[in-house]
Structure 1
């Protein structure tokens, strides 16, 4: 299965690819693919990964910044949901979203992951991966069946 780092890194790569595609075609369909991947990703990190890391003094500031970066991305996504592709701000908001998420991914992988491996055991990192994957599976099932995702 791998660790939480493996799972999150794979999703980061997928989100980055979706962002590149969205910038190329500028479509709302591509935007919603990003949203569908990013929403449960951020929720899962905030529910399982970040709380464990916040317990470590050396990581608190980085995790606080990660929450802020998530909030920035969520705000942009929310704003873009109400926009049309033809809105004059669409392309710049999409570019802003890509920059925001790219920055977050870079920070998380180069700083948070690098420090977290010193504090989380291999077993804990694997356990977090299982919890995270199960959460995402449940989230996607709720999306598919039209149930609320809270």
Structure 2
């Protein structure tokens, strides 16, 4: 598996979890799904920035790519901010569902930009072997992050 397939797999998993949550009415089940989404988002974003984005900075050292990566990192920060807002609202409220809809939209926008704009450029600059290695690196780092989150039982975003 290369880095693109790895990231797409993560994206599809998150999309499925978000779709599931949108159809849930029971607050306890909704909370469980939201906790899983938050954990996945945190681990995905951090590991992606430290592996894939770092590799792109070296492979494509242009202002255009730098701008795209900065924009993507900004989107990661916006997503984390929305997670914090959601944490402060009652999960059974309409306001929570509205904010979750905003989060879902922000994530879907980020996925579309990343897969549609960054991936094509990356595929031109990163060899297939390096793309495979990046997937292994991102997965190893993501597993470390997830293990650390599970060990601490508190997720800091």
Q: Would the TM-score normalized by the shorter structure come out above 0.5? A: yes
* Deviation for aligned residue 1:75: 0.4
Q: Deviations over 1:98-142 (max 9, x none)?
A: 000001001111111111000111121111111111111212222
RMSD between aligned residues? 1.8
* TM-score, normalisation: structure 1: 0.91
Instruction: Measure, in 2, the Cα distance between the counterparts of 1:76 and 1:147.
Output: 21
* 8 Å Cα contact 1:28/1:84 also seen in 2: no
Alignment of 1:19-98 (within 5 A): 19-25=18-24, 27-55=30-58, 56=60, 57=62, 58-98=64-104
User: Which residues of structure 1 form unaligned runs of 5+?
Assistant: none
In structure 2, the partner of 1:11 is 10
User: Which residues of structure 2 form unaligned runs of 5+?
Assistant: none
Give the ranges of 4+ consecutive aligned residues of structure 1 lying more than 4 Å apart after TM superposition.
147-150
Instruction: Measure, in 2, the Cα distance between the counterparts of 1:93 and 1:20.
Output: 14
Task: Flag the 1:148–1:36 CA change in 2: closer, same or farther, 3 A.
Answer: closer
Alignment of 1:67-146 (within 5 A): 67-146=73-152
